[in-house]
Chains A and B, each alone.
Chain A
């Protein structure tokens, strides 16, 4: 039926059998957590606890605790929101877009990447909710419900409302996509288990029995979910970029934003996948499943999207000059040479220059270099959002209103809180859920492994 390619590297190395796949992945779930895991988990919970003081301060006192002023009314909150949403793009891209393109290498990484997506979107969604000040009174204002004075509705002309629909749809569809993929693997763990674990994973597996008819429907569902999630993933960051692009602020009001934001999202998402996967494969000894080939392919995606982002930065400058609009020209000159020049040049170095190092095969196949560069890219992408948001706002229309933004301890603390939340959830996932999609890896094993059978 299937043949081993003489051109491509095998996707799974080490001559794994089907049973080896089951064993290598399930033993992480079945074994006692290692000391390293406890250490990592407790660190994440510690950061979460530390950050929660800032979150509580924000909820108790209000967003006056943040470093915002009347000129810069949007800063770290929305920077962090866009940053986390961007990171949340890689998972669905890997599992949906690469499924449609029949890229079989996605099978080893899609589970963890989707988990990362879901956790990143949770962190992102927190910011719009808490920036309402009193979310317990206000969170439902974003929903299309009539207000108490009569049927005054939400404004469907506003991109902020589109964002509510986009993010919540993205989150729930990604969650469903992820869970459907988990069901067969939960069944595998259920069938190896006894006692309480059998009951828990039995419930989680929804009574999956692996019948050919169910698999046929499962395949059909995966394909259509991928078809739906592909435009969805592109729409989400497009709509996030509309939050800025449909405004009249110089520096925001540009038509290039949607494709540029989507490329940036994939760029930062892949970087975060690499950061997490390099650690996971090492700690869980999954080097045969997440191979250098996977890392190299992800690095190639980083070069491509990093270059698109770089071209977008240059195009913005060109269009500002070519448009002849003075305010627009000033906004961009001010970005590169104004008081926030250091943020701008950090962004340029991290996002445009450093990923170009991946053109060297030695660097893109080096695990240490990839790990370091993946961190650099994520730092750069945070600065990108900071630059776009704060430098465009801090020079108001009236020079008397010009101001600088200085983050307060609550700004930093709330950001820390999301880090704690993200890693707490990720470590829980890595312990209790199968980190690699066993069923999908098994389905590509025969065509890709040297020997699938004993």
Chain B
């Protein structure tokens, strides 16, 4: 059987039940493909065993890039390329360069981080997402289990585990 085509879906109503269910299902040796929720469920990434996002590091690096670019630009233009005395100040009037440096730091940090987020999460206007269950953006949490990825377990057994963990519905879903 090909991977990523045939799934079993566990449908959960409640985030508290879902969190315990993820622990139970993973404890029974079932590999969870992904959980789809209509809103962020706190602690879900821990029970699913996801590593912390590295986006803060990206934001920091882009921020530093912004600061460096802004300072380089200002010192180059004001001190080296066309020095002018303005208000009796030094050519390189560092305190005057702080506001623009700060703004450029924020600008690059925000845009850089959001850019990395959109790329890593494959978010783009022409993306064609696979929607397992339309209710996952409304009021249900959907746990998707790839059958091919759990070949050691019987399908009926997986369904049993899902029902026992508190799923209100257990469905099949296949993609072309």
Contacts and interface: CB of A to CB of B under 8 A. Distances in A.
Contacts of B110: 172-173, 176-177, 225, 228-229
A212 B106 contact: no
Interface of A: 1, 17-19, 22, 144, 150-157, 159, 161-162, 165-166, 169, 172-173, 176-177, 180, 183-184, 187-188, 190-192, 203-204, 206-221, 224-225, 228-229, 231-232, 235, 239, 242, 438-440, 442-443, 446, 453
Contacts of B89: 157
B93 A157 contact: yes
B38 A153 contact: no
B77 A224 contact: no
Given A203-B125, A228-B110, A216 B53 contact: yes
Given A156-B77, A156-B100, 9 more contacts: A159-B99, A169-B103, A188-B137, A212-B37, A215-B45, A217-B53, A217-B120, A228-B59, A231-B106
B175 interface: no
B139 A191 contact: no
Contacts of A232: 103, 106
Nearest to A218: B40
Interface of B: 13-16, 19, 34-45, 48, 50, 53, 55-56, 59, 63, 73-74, 77-78, 81-82, 86-87, 89, 93, 96-97, 99-100, 102-104, 106-107, 109-111, 113-114, 117-118, 120-131, 134-139
| Among all A-B residue pairs, the 9 with the closest Cβ atoms | A207-B127, A18-B139, A206-B123, A153-B77, A442-B39, A162-B99, A443-B39, A216-B45, A207-B129
Nearest to A214: B121
Contacts of A212: 34-37, 41, 44-45, 48, 50
B99 A165 contact: yes
Contacts of A162: 99-100, 103
Given A17-B139, A221-B55, A224-B55, A1 B38 contact: no
A1 B136 CA distance: 21
Given A153-B77, A217-B121, A172 B37 contact: no
